Amino acid sequence: MSSPAHMDARLLRAFVTVAEELHFTRAAARLYVAQQALSRDVRRLERELGAELFVRTTRQVTLTADGERLLPYARRVLAAQDDLLAAFGQARPLLVDLNSPGPSTARHVLHRARELTPDCELMARYESGLTAAAAGLLAGRLDASFGRFAGLDPALRSGLAQQPVRYEPMAIALPEDHPLAALEKVPLSALAGETVYAGAGNPGTREWTDLALRLFEGRGIRLAPPLPPAVGEEEFERVMRRTRNPVLAVVGFPAMPWTVLRPLTDPVPLSPVSLVWRRGLTHPGLEALRRAASANAGGARGWLRRPAGAWLPAVDAEVMGASG
């Protein structure tokens, strides 16, 4: 490689994003730029360095040996730039994963955090599950997410920090003509013999499927077999209407048009939610998220109060008793 006297950080960010996505279209979408502009930036960086960074074919994009060598240095330069800007109140946008576009605990916390720090940009992303988001957090593609921290692989958890936010009571979405739909609340024992969808087969939501398996164990409730992950509410509704399986959810889950949502009881099962971020991350937006989460966890909302006799796996109780 040659040694240019000046290196444009924008070019390095373009390179790192393509290196993480290994796909120019996805990388351009992440950076909110046209694909042609992104390609020009990468080619300019290659000219300035005198090295080819990617092998491009019609089927895939891969890093060259020089690209592999540059990647850790580029990440360190960008991290140093972000730290410098944050130190002088010019923080880059904080990328916050909400899992899904609908109403949620995560969305409520994000909105409150935006009120607490109006001069800081907090931008929503939707990775559809904490397992999917965790890889993005560790790679620097995301900054914060929400979900069941105890359900992550220990290798992922080691690079992340978390703050308990809420115990969400769980619910069941039932077809309107299902026999249990007439009940105001559905006892867990009434689901014996049912086949319930809980994300099996979706690699991005393994923490949720694991929670469901723990809940169903010994109760005669079957986990619905894997389905191809449905992207978007319309596609999810189409697949669920076809299978007609009850769907495990939480009480704030927006019911699909042809279903009714009923809280589960006897005992009330809880879905633990944590705010999760990359260890070592400093950003005023993250501090605002943490303050917003703490405000809702205590006080009138009492998001971290556990109802007497509620169901929660021991591993989750242990994790929710600790913080990052």
9-87 sits in which CATH class? Answer: mainly alpha
Buried b (16+ CB within 10 A) or exposed e, 151-161: bbeeebbeebb
- Delimit the domains of the chain by residue range: 9-87, 94-166+271-320, 171-265
Identify the CA nearest to 46 among candidates 85, 5, 89, 7.
Answer: 7
pLDDT digits (tens, 9 = 90+) for 268-322: 999 999 999 998 888 889 999 999 998 876 655 789 988 889 999 999 999 998 5
Integer Cα distance of 231 and 249 in angstroms? 17
pLDDT digits (tens, 9 = 90+) for 83-137: 776 666 556 789 999 988 777 899 999 999 999 988 888 999 887 799 999 988 9
Assign 324 a pLDDT band (cuts: 50, 70, 90). Answer: very low
Integer Cα distance of 83 and 79 in angstroms? 6
What are residue 273's DSSP bridge partners? Answer: 166
| 257 token code pair | 């048009």
What are residue 195's DSSP bridge partners? Answer: 222
Give Cα 57 distance to the centre of its chain: 31
Identify the CA nearest to 162 among candidates 310, 283, 293.
Answer: 293
| 167 token code pair | 């115990």
Identify the CA nearest to 63 among candidates 36, 23, 102, 96.
Answer: 23
Fold held by 171-265: D-Maltodextrin-Binding Protein; domain 2 (3.40.190)
Hey, do 9-87 and 171-265 end up sharing a CATH topology, with the first three levels equal? Answer: no
Second-level CATH architecture of 94-166+271-320: 3-Layer(aba) Sandwich (3.40)
Integer Cα distance of 318 and 303 in angstroms? 17
Q: What is the pTM of this model?
A: 0.72
- For the chain, what is the radius of gyration of the CA atoms? 22
